Amino acid sequence: MKQHRNNSRRARRIALILILILALTLTGCSISNPASKLQDGQALDDAFISGLSTETKMDFFDYVKLPFSYLLSWLYDLTGNFGAALILFALFVKILLLPASAKSKKGMMKMSRLTPQVKALEQKYGDDKQAYQAAVNELYRKEGASGCGGCIWSLLPLLILIPLYEIIREPITWLMFHGSVSDATLAQVQKVLVDSGSMTAKALASGRSAAYWQMSAMPYIKTNLEAMQAVSPSIFAMNTRLLGIELSTIPHVLFWNYFGVAGVWNAVGQFLLPIISGGINMLSVLISQKQNNALVVDKNGNQDMDMAKSSQQAQSNKMMTYLMPLMSVYIGFVAPAGLSVYWIVQGVFGMVQDYFLNKHYKKIYDAEDEIKRQQAAKEAALEAERERLRAERRAENPDGMVGSASKKKIQQRMKNEQAAKEAAYQEMKAAADGTDEEAGEGESREDVRRPNRRGRNYDPHRYDD
């Protein structure tokens, strides 16, 4: 199954590239943090801020993030809660990507159904890889299937997750200024945080909180709202708590050490969010695999679970079973808790969406399988009837000489009879050659060989007197 394996490898490479892009984004490579430019011993004061640019610059990727920025900002204005806005945003993304998700689901279901036929082609052509690949490509073309099985379409949510992550990580830049903010303005916000004692310049410049300083600043904007709005009237206090869990801070693995700082429920809730996210992702993948395996049928439309479990696609799916959940857990512990909320909601909405898509396409494929089963039953009945007629003909004519179909047999039989006559003649001739010595006086060889040739009443001595 070389072609099938190549397609699976191609899909995995694309997935790994997208995951790498996401991982690089998570490291905070492109971050708006003026404090990171502080030199050793330099203070975050007006002299430092005066040396920063007051221009607002946006590149191509900033313009990609801009629509999501306005959408999430509008949803926050609608709900008044950052967590609720994330939930509605996840629902919007699912609706936006529904055509791609439907195409992905259809492609994976189609590939699952073709697994037995691909395996049969592999057994048929053996080592003739060129003929096998041509046959597989023709099968895919005929069935309207893609070698990647819809994998590329299923990776589109990752492309949405990258700009969303940037927006969640930098709410001041994207939800308050929509990307049009200068380094000097952000530095003034950081100065307010330092002057009020809310955060230190060292924490803003480096360390774990440096990449997420805007999220970490959310709780302190409310307590320093007047000073913040003096920097820019666009700054406002956001409600970043959902069910008592602060979504602007990063969860801690050793959550019990932060009971006194963050609160018991807040620390426990933040710790559970990445775990729940990973569990939802794994459950979603397992349900999807089970649904796809149920579609693996043979050429007669009957379910083939053994083939489903041993197929190349099933082996590829095993990697995704653990890769995506582990990645979601990892991201949940290095990014603000809001991202885990988004991932959880995406997983729940995804399972609901998959249920209805699977029900829709399974109904179509079940109808196709029923047609295949009916055709197979008709062909089996016709073959049984043909075999019955052949058995009757064999019983009526054991020698098989029926009409023109037995012409060769008749010719062979006549040839055998002629050979038998010739053999009998030769035997008779050989016997006649030995009668010359046995013939008496006045008798010929013919007389000995044919004693009654002159009649039964012939008497050679009748007239001797």
Distance separating alpha carbons of residues 344 and 357, to the nearest angstrom = 20
126-135, 183-192, 262-271 — which is least confidently predicted?
A: 126-135
Residue at which a domain ends, from 373, 398, 423? 373
Together in a domain, 140 and 263: yes
Distance separating alpha carbons of residues 261 and 250, to the nearest angstrom = 13
207: burial class by Cβ within 10 Å (0-12, 13-18, 19+)? exposed
Together in a domain, 156 and 249: yes
Query: What's the token pair of residue 116?
Result: 């037995």
Query: What's the token pair of residue 58?
Result: 């946006």
341 found inside a domain:
yes
269: Cβ contacts below 8 Å, ≥ 6 apart = 243, 244, 245
Q: How far lies 440's CA from each of 320, 322, 447, in Å?
A: 110, 112, 10
Residue type, 420: A
10 found inside a domain:
yes
335 found inside a domain:
yes
Three-state SS for 245?
A: strand
Together in a domain, 298 and 412: no
What is residue 156's predicted lDDT score, i.e. its pLDDT?
A: 66
Together in a domain, 348 and 414: no
Its domain, for residue 324, covers: 2-30+57-180+240-373
Q: Would you place residue 85 in the very low, low, confident or very high pLDDT band (cuts 50, 70, 90)?
A: very high
Query: What's the token pair of residue 417?
Result: 């009879």
Distance separating alpha carbons of residues 425 and 158, to the nearest angstrom = 96
Together in a domain, 170 and 298: yes
The CB density around residue 366, as the number of other CB atoms within 10 Å, is 13
The CB density around residue 5, as the number of other CB atoms within 10 Å, is 12
pLDDT, tens digit, 9 for 90 and up, residues 130-162: 877 788 777 777 766 665 555 566 666 667 767
Under the phi-then-psi rule, with left for phi > 0, alpha for psi from -120 to 50, and beta for the rest, what region is 121? alpha
460 found inside a domain:
no
Distance separating alpha carbons of residues 213 and 8, to the nearest angstrom = 40
159 found inside a domain:
yes
What is residue 218's predicted lDDT score, i.e. its pLDDT?
A: 86
Looking at the structure of the chain, the number of domains it has is 2
Task: Give me the residue label for tokens 């043979």.
Answer: 298
- Give the residue among 66, 273, 307, 262 at the shortest CA–CA distance from 170: 66
Query: What's the token pair of residue 67?
Result: 């629509």
Return the higher-pLDDT residue of 404 and 362. 362
What is residue 53's predicted lDDT score, i.e. its pLDDT?
A: 83
314 found inside a domain:
yes
Q: What percent of the chain has pLDDT over 70?
A: 72
pLDDT, tens digit, 9 for 90 and up, residues 55-77: 888 878 788 888 888 998 999 99
283: Cβ contacts below 8 Å, ≥ 6 apart = 347, 351
> What residues pair up with 241 in beta bridges, in sequence order?
246
247: Cβ contacts below 8 Å, ≥ 6 apart = 82, 83, 86, 240, 241, 336, 337, 338, 341
| Rg over CA atoms, the chain | 44
**Length of the chain counted residue by residue:** 465
Residue type, 305: M
Together in a domain, 367 and 415: no
Examine the pLDDT at 332 and tell me if it is beyond 60: yes
26-35, 207-216, 251-260 — which is least confidently predicted?
A: 26-35
| Mean pLDDT value across the chain | 76
What is residue 24's predicted lDDT score, i.e. its pLDDT?
A: 47
Residue at which a domain ends, from 373, 399, 422? 373
Examine the pLDDT at 28 and tell me if it is beyond 90: no
Q: Would you place residue 49 in the very low, low, confident or very high pLDDT band (cuts 50, 70, 90)?
A: confident
Mean pLDDT throughout 432-445?
52
- Annotate 303-342 with three-state secondary structure: ECHHHHHHCHHHHHHHHHHHHHHHHHHHHHHHCCHHHHHH
What is residue 382's predicted lDDT score, i.e. its pLDDT?
A: 87
Distance separating alpha carbons of residues 372 and 368, to the nearest angstrom = 6
pLDDT, tens digit, 9 for 90 and up, residues 418-438: 888 888 777 777 766 655 544
CA distance between the termini of the chain? 109
pLDDT, tens digit, 9 for 90 and up, residues 192-233: 988 888 888 888 887 666 778 888 888 888 889 999 999 999
Together in a domain, 420 and 291: no
Q: Would you place residue 79 in the very low, low, confident or very high pLDDT band (cuts 50, 70, 90)?
A: very high
215 found inside a domain:
no
Distance separating alpha carbons of residues 146 and 235, to the nearest angstrom = 49
